[in-house]
Chain A
Amino acid sequence: MHAKRLKYIAILIITGLCASTAQAVKPTTNRDSLREGRRIYEQACAWCHGTGGEGDGPAGWFIGRYSSPRPRNFAQDGYKFRSTGSGDLPTDQDLFTTITRGIPGVMPAYRALNERERWQVIAYLKSWNPAFEEEKPVPLTFPQAPAAPTEAAIHNGRNLYVKYDCRVCHGDNGEGDGPEATAGHLRDGNNLPIRATNLTDPSAWKNGASALDLFRTLTTGLDGTPMPSYANEFAGREEALWELVWYIQSLSDQQRK
């Protein structure tokens, strides 16, 4: 009798657990979930992104001050961190990744919001930009990284780094001190001065520091910045792009990761 009751309770608990796991799957967007998304947004996001999503929250100006970055304007800006082609909108999963990881230096990781809450916020912030209704962003496919880099591959990567003028912005040693960067020529989509990323300091890389992250950044480019997409240049030559990735990683201690 007693054991039976325990069993019953155990089933209840397990069912409950399953139900709560199921909730973590991306919920459908409806009026209730948008309302919930708005509530979360106004408590967590609006301080920088603004109550209207225009990147003009009361704390937003101080992040970059007179320089890049400003908080994203969800109503009209493009997006830097994507798995989609240059100029395309991000997928929902891309937005989820950014919210979960944060952006080093400028945006905290919101892992403390549960998965469901993150999806609700994503649905709410997308509602400001009608382009999300018209364009259906399609993620590019990214291959798995080949096995460990060889010295020759890294050497080839260095040649590509020169050939593709990476050093014009990122500098000969990858320290973000290329001639265009030091001359102050680089501007973001709001015409604010922007720095070239220091490739020797992976902890500050905004789009992630893994080999796949670098591969993705080089493929998609960072919209709203001078960083272009190299997808066209490396189409059908993925192994060359991996060599460039490994060379960039060799500038810091990231090559093993």
Chain B
Amino acid sequence: MTHDQERLTTRSSDVLSISRHSEGKDFMKGVLFLALALSAVQGISPLHAETPTGTLVGRILYVGPAIPDQVFEVTRDSGFCGAQATIRTVTIHPKTRGLEGAVVSIDGVAVPLSDPAAPALVLTNTRCAFTPRLATGVVGQQVEIRNDDPVMHNTHISMGSRTLVNVAMIPASRPVWKPLKQSGIYTVKCDAHKFMQAHILAFTHPFFSITDETGAFRIPSLPPGEHQVTIWHDTLGTVHQSVTIAATGDTHVTLEYPNHADARKQ
């Protein structure tokens, strides 16, 4: 795992220093594409109304060189899955240059989750891919695993070397439910189809958001003051930046992702 340190500019206002922790594993894997990410954004519970709160509104940009999509030869069930599987690595909005499918979160704010009974995250095996390929949730939230395909999959969710669940899913299996156990980045794989990959990010707080197709995100109900923002993207890695949330209203910020190629050079 590499730990690069980088500087990067924020478009809107001033230059901030950003520490970057890019996980080599994620670079190497160069996995997924996030077309259906929005379906995974679940209800974010607002804080109690008494405390003054601000909202972080912003956009994540990526202006680095294009990163080619990953193409896998399908060696199994290619009659159904197709001869090749293409995994889009980085999706940029043509107008805004916004990066789709980055997860923005603010950790370190000790807030109890007011609504632990969030609806289940549905993760479906569809056409030899996971839908969605990126999901976010809170610890304790159920993941519901489904298989819509006429071929067998296994859905193998793990964090590091610890398995969350690894279940066989034959065609028309009934759904499997499993709660997220700890915060962090879960990888989702199918051992039978190596090209099938997804991620679930689990948090112990409600302050997270997935960028939409224009790269925009919005995190409401934040206590005012300085916070550390973490931005994660499965191909581009993790960056951190501090922001100061105004006591009321929106705090706008535009962040540019470090140049992927430059980061690797360092």
A and B touch in the complex (CB under 8 A): yes
Partner of A86, one of B152, B166, B173: B166
B35 to chain A minimum Cβ distance, whole angstroms, is 26
Tell me if A223 is interfacial: C-beta within 8 Å of chain B: yes
Q: Chain B, 155-173, contact with A by CB distance < 8 Å: what is the 0/1 string?
A: 1111011111111111001
Partner of B163, one of A73, A131, A185, A223: A223
Question: How far apart sit A226 and B168, CA to CA, in the bound complex (Å)?
Answer: 10
A188 to chain B minimum Cβ distance, whole angstroms, is 8
Give residues of chain B (174-199) contacting chain A, Cβ–Cβ below 8 Å.
Answer: 174, 176, 178, 181-182, 191-192, 194
**From B151, which residue of chain A is reached at the shortest CB distance?**
A165
Contact B75 A179 (CB under 8 A): yes
Tell me if B154 is interfacial: C-beta within 8 Å of chain A: yes
Contact B162 A185 (CB under 8 A): no
Question: How far apart sit A54 and B169, CA to CA, in the bound complex (Å)?
Answer: 32
Partner of B165, one of A77, A86, A135: A86
**Chain A residues in 8 Å Cβ range of B93:** none
Q: With A179-B75, A226-B191, A228-B156 in contact, do A221 and B166 touch (Cβ < 8 Å)?
A: yes
Tell me if B11 is interfacial: C-beta within 8 Å of chain A: no
**Chain B residues in 8 Å Cβ range of A230:** 167-168
The number of chain B residues with a CB under 8 A from chain A is 28
Q: With A135-B181, A226-B191, A232-B176 in contact, do A78 and B168 touch (Cβ < 8 Å)?
A: no
* CB < 8 Å A-B pair total: 92
**Chain B residues in 8 Å Cβ range of A185:** 75, 191, 194
Tell me if A168 is interfacial: C-beta within 8 Å of chain B: yes
Tell me if A189 is interfacial: C-beta within 8 Å of chain B: yes
Interface residues of B (CB under 8 A from A): 75-76, 152, 154-158, 160-170, 173-174, 176, 178, 181-182, 191-192, 194
4 pairs of A and B residues whose beta carbons are closest in the complex:
A226-B191, A223-B163, A189-B161, A228-B154
A-B contact pairs, 25 of them (CB 8 A): A76-B162, A77-B162, A78-B158, A86-B163, A87-B157, A87-B165, A164-B152, A168-B192, A180-B191, A185-B191, A187-B191, A189-B160, A189-B161, A189-B162, A221-B168, A226-B156, A226-B166, A228-B154, A228-B167, A228-B191, A229-B166, A229-B167, A230-B167, A232-B176, A233-B173
A-B contact sample (13 more), CB < 8 A, given A76-B161, A87-B164, A87-B166 = A73-B161, A76-B162, A86-B163, A180-B76, A180-B192, A183-B75, A185-B194, A189-B162, A221-B166, A230-B167, A232-B167, A232-B168, A232-B174
